[in-house]
């Protein structure tokens, strides 16, 4: 009887740990880190199959980028910051306290705002909804070019959150937000 009770308790604890994995709380309360897009490893779809992602000397194939925020929820204290490690062709946008993904109008303005740099071609459509927007990051198409002539794809943007609340963070590349659901939340405690 004791053995089965203990087994059930351990199983319950492991399940709770697994459910809590996508949410990170900054232990010191001051900073958190979010991977904003990630480069894939291992085989890619063929033909012929590609066994590795080789970015050397400085190439970044767009088809090998994962469009997710990991973790997609973080918690910090007011006055803390989130370091968004941007891997890939992404634009960081933060919306004010209480904004939800369905509140974002992805169809304004008309005609749509697009990337301004020489790459990608055709240009990518950017989300330009100013309602409750409190931070808009760099246009990824205007970053320095890599050796293949594409815009540099990797950088860090550190964003300070001074007021308590829950903030929506999205990728401003319309297709990434609309099709890949590339968004997450920052909860700021007092």
**pLDDT reported for residue 17:** 39
Q: pLDDT per position in the chain (190 positions), as tens?
A: 455 444 444 444 444 434 444 455 555 668 999 999 999 887 777 667 777 887 776 777 778 899 999 999 999 999 999 999 999 999 999 999 999 999 999 998 767 888 887 767 778 899 999 999 999 999 888 877 666 666 667 899 999 999 999 999 999 999 999 999 999 999 999 9
CATH number at residue 151: 2.60.40.420
**pLDDT reported for residue 104:** 98
Domain boundaries, position 150: 25-189
Closest CA to 106 of 182, 178, 33, 36: 178
Is residue 81 in some structural domain?
yes
Compute the distance between CA of residue 169 and CA of residue 171 in angstroms, rounded to an integer. 7
Is residue 13 in some structural domain?
no
Is residue 62 in some structural domain?
yes
- Identify the DSSP state of 35: E
Is residue 137 in some structural domain?
yes
């Amino acid at each position: 009887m004791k053995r089965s009770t203990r087994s059930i308790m351990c199983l319950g604890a492991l399940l709770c740990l697994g459910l809590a994995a996508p949410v990170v709380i900054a232990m010191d309360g001051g900073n958190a880190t979010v991977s904003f897009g990630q480069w894939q490893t291992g085989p890619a779809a063929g033909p012929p199959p590609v066994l590795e992602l080789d970015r050397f000397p400085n190439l970044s194939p767009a088809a090998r980028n994962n469009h997710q925020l990991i973790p997609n929820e973080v918690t910090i204290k007011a006055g803390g910051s989130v370091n968004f490690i941007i891997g890939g062709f992404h634009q960081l946008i933060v919306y004010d306290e209480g904004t939800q993904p369905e509140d974002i109008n992805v169809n304004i303005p008309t005609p749509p705002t697009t990337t301004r740099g020489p790459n990608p071609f055709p240009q990518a459509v950017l989300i330009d909804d100013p309602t409750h927007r409190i931070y808009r990051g760099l246009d990824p198409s205007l970053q320095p070019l890599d050796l293949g002539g594409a815009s540099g794809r990797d950088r860090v943007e550190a964003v300070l959150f001074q007021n308590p609340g829950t903030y929506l963070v999205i990728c401003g590349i319309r297709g990434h937000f609309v099709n890949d659901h590339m968004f997450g939340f920052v909860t700021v405690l007092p």
